[in-house]
C-alpha cells in the first residue's frame, strides 16, 4: 500500500471518531450563534449520545439595560459525532438574573 492509500484510510477512520468535549462546546456555541444571529452566554450542559452529542446552550434573546433585565433562552442542540449541528429547540426562556428553584 502506498502513502496516499494510507492517508485516505486514516481520514476515513477519523470521520467516525468522537470529538473532544471542549471542541464540542465551541462547535455547539458557534453554530447556534451563527444560526440564530444571537450572542451565546454559555454552554450549560453537554452529554455524549450513541449518535453524537446533546448540549444545552444559553442564548441572549433580548438585550436590555441593565443586563439583569435581558431575556435569556436555553436551547437544546443535537450534534453528530463530528460536531455538526443536526437539530435544535428552545426549551426555556427566562430573565438573566433568575435562579432555578429546584
> Which pLDDT tens digits describe the chain residue by residue (102 residues)?
444 444 434 433 445 688 899 999 999 999 999 999 999 999 999 999 999 999 999 999 999 888 888 999 999 999 999 999 999 999 999 998 877 776
- Give the integer Cα–Cα distance in Å for 88 and 57: 10
Spatial distance between the Cα atoms of 23 and 90, rounded to a whole number of angstroms: 22
How far apart, in whole angstroms, are the C-alpha atoms of residue 19 and residue 81? 6
pLDDT for 13: 40
Largest CA distance in the chain: 64
Nearest to 51 by CA among 74, 13, 83: 83
What pLDDT score was predicted for residue 102?
A: 66
Which pLDDT score, from 0 to 100, does residue 18 have? 82
pTM: 0.78
What is the rounded CA–CA span in Å between residue 37 and residue 59?
10
Amino acid at each position: 500500500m502506498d502513502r496516499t492509500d494510507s492517508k485516505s484510510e486514516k481520514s476515513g477512520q477519523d470521520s467516525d471518531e468522537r470529538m473532544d468535549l471542549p471542541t464540542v462546546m465551541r462547535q455547539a456555541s458557534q453554530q447556534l450563534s451563527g444560526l440564530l444571529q444571537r450572542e451565546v452566554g454559555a454552554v450549560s450542559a453537554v452529554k455524549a449520545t450513541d449518535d453524537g452529542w446533546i448540549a444545552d446552550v444559553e442564548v441572549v434573546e433580548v438585550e436590555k439595560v441593565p443586563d439583569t433585565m435581558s431575556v435569556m433562552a436555553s436551547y437544546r442542540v443535537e450534534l453528530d459525532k463530528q460536531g455538526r449541528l443536526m437539530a435544535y429547540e428552545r426549551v426555556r426562556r427566562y430573565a438573566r438574573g433568575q435562579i432555578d428553584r429546584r
